[in-house]
């Protein structure tokens, strides 16, 4: 498994408006190869958004990040931060991680 943390500057919408505006995008993300789950993140005060993603493997994660970064640039988002992490499954299970 490979976890990806992504964030970027985002001016909104947030909350329920974001949920409504991004529903189609969320549905398309759920169909990406190797995708397992995503937690959507937002911080209205700091004007940031992003997500924590879990993929079945590193290859799927890297392909998704490349595709999604290009898509975000089409939306006018120039800087996208992405970090990759391995998951320590035994410890994550102890702390109720969705692994």
pLDDT, tens digit (0-9, with 9 covering 90-100), for 51-99: 999 999 999 999 999 999 999 999 999 999 999 999 999 999 999 999 8
Q: 13: cis peptide before it, omega within 30°?
A: yes
CA distances (Å), origin 99, targets 27, 29, 40, 56, 68: 21, 19, 17, 10, 23
Instruction: Report pLDDT for 99.
Output: 87
**CA–CA separation, 65 and 70 (whole Å):** 8
For the chain, percent of residues with pLDDT exceeding 70: 100
43 has pLDDT over 90: yes
49 has pLDDT over 90: yes
Q: For the residues 32-36, what does the mean pLDDT come to?
A: 97
Map out the domains of the chain with their CATH numbers: 2-94 (3.30.70.100)
């Amino acid at each position: 498994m490979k976890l990806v943390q992504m964030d970027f500057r985002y001016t909104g919408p947030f909350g329920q408006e974001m949920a409504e505006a991004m529903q189609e995008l969320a549905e398309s993300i759920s169909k990406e190869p190797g995708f397992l789950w995503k937690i959507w993140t937002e911080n209205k005060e700091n004007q940031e958004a992003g997500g924590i993603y879990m993929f079945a493997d590193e290859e799927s994660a890297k392909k998704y990040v490349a595709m999604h970064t290009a898509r975000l640039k089409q939306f006018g988002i120039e800087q996208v931060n992405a970090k990759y992490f391995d998951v320590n499954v035994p410890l994550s299970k102890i702390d109720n991680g969705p692994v």
